[in-house]
Amino acid sequence: MTTVTPLVAAVRRLKRTRACLDALGIDALLVTTPSNRRWVSGFTGTAGVVLVTAERAVVATDSRYYEQVGVQATACTLLRANGAMTEWLPVLFEGLGGKRVGFEPDDMTVARYEEWTQAVAALASGDRPKLVPVPHAIETLRAIKDTDEIETLTRAVLLGDAACEHATAMARPGMPEKQLAWEIQRYAMEHGADDLSFPTIVAGGPWGALPHAIPRDVPLEVGQGVVMDLGTKVDGYCSDLTRTIFLGEPDVQFRRIYDIVLTAQLIAEERIEAGMTGQQAHEVAVTVIREAGYAEYFGHGLGHGVGLDIHEAPRLGPRSDDILADGQVVTVEPGIYIPGWGGVRIEDQCVMEGGRLRRLSTASKVH
């Protein structure tokens, strides 16, 4: 596959963004969420805003990022936004007097919203746009990945798989959880990761009953299950993988619970299809766990979208009405967590293609 240039990708994404302005009832969209800024423009800086109208796309940022914008956001023009907002806002909103400018409410604190509204109020009356909240506008577009995004995500997934296999081979009784987590991180960074998607989870024995356990200095022990949840970033895109291993010969209880979780996961990957809601997808897996008598020990959603953010649309959970569709990349991660005993979670990253899930993760599930 031929990877498109950043300019071509940005032009395509700006076109998709502009195409939804009318449906959103706005004349322009102010993009402030960092990952949304990156998606729509290519700009990865930590400060700045992107304004998209039918005619132009502008990155407004300060002097730290002028050169970066020139390299990364070649489909946009640069607005040198030094000084107080009142000094550069008239240029950013030029021609938008009386127009509706959408903003991202999930990224707008009360204090920041007041700053924006006060700066708009300082404009001449005929130059003032109306700021209107537009929730999840870019996130909805981002949920459907293009072929280049899927290729990048696949590279991140395969690197995460390799890091997991490395950790599985390294794990042994007496090794502290923190050391095993470090081995995962070290391997990922030495083999091409930009960063980790999130802090690595390594949880041995009863600690595995915490779905988001923090690795400790506590050594792993023989006869324990070990939950490892890890992710890598490649070119900004995230992977997410969980495997549960056993140190020694698995006992009867571990085998039973592991087999229930694995069955739930495999059936979900087989039966989830485009057109389902996130709630319906979740129910496929939870039905297996419920019928085995462990429903009370599975308390989180089945999965979530993955892309530039580790958690993004769509959500697969008991209250999700998100509609699953081709091009989405999601996790499938059922688990059982029993206080005082431990936990088992198995997670793959999958892409929806031709109405069905295709597994991207390749790390072994044999315990």
Average pLDDT, the chain: 96
Q: Which of 142, 162, 179 is the last residue of a domain?
A: 142
User: Phi and psi at residue 38, in whole multiples of 5°?
Assistant: -65, -45
**pLDDT tens-digit profile of 107-160?**
999 999 999 999 999 999 999 999 999 999 999 999 999 999 999 999 999 999
Burial of 182 (0-12, 13-18, 19+ CB in 10 A): middle
CA atoms of 274 and 145, how far apart (whole Å): 14
Pairing, β 57-61 against β 77-80: parallel
- Helix (H) or strand (E) holding 193, with range, is none
Q: What pLDDT shows up at residue 367?
A: 64
Question: Whole-model pTM?
Answer: 0.95
Same domain for 185 and 83, yes or no, is: no
Q: Which of 142, 171, 206 is the last residue of a domain?
A: 142
**Which tokens belong to 148?**
């280049």
* Per-residue model confidence as pLDDT tens for the chain (367 residues): 456 778 888 899 999 999 999 999 999 999 999 999 999 999 999 999 999 999 999 999 999 999 999 999 999 999 999 899 999 999 999 999 999 999 999 999 999 999 999 999 999 999 999 999 999 999 999 999 999 999 999 999 999 999 999 999 999 999 999 999 999 999 999 999 999 999 999 999 999 999 999 999 999 999 999 999 999 999 999 999 999 999 999 999 999 999 999 999 999 999 999 999 999 999 999 999 999 999 999 999 999 999 999 999 999 999 999 999 999 999 999 999 999 999 999 999 999 999 999 999 999 997 6
Residue 323 inside a domain? The answer is yes
CA atoms of 201 and 185, how far apart (whole Å): 11
**pLDDT tens-digit profile of 157-197?**
999 999 999 999 999 999 999 999 999 999 999 999 999 99
The CATH number for 82's domain is 3.40.350.10
Same domain for 22 and 162, yes or no, is: no
Q: Which of 83, 108, 142 is the last residue of a domain?
A: 142
- Give the domain range for residue 260: 147-359
Residue 364 inside a domain? The answer is no
Instruction: Judge contact between 184 and 242, C-beta under 8 A.
Output: no
Q: Which of 293, 291, 292, 287 is nearest to 302 (CA)?
A: 287
Q: How many C-beta atoms lie closer than 10 Å to residue 12's C-beta? A: 14
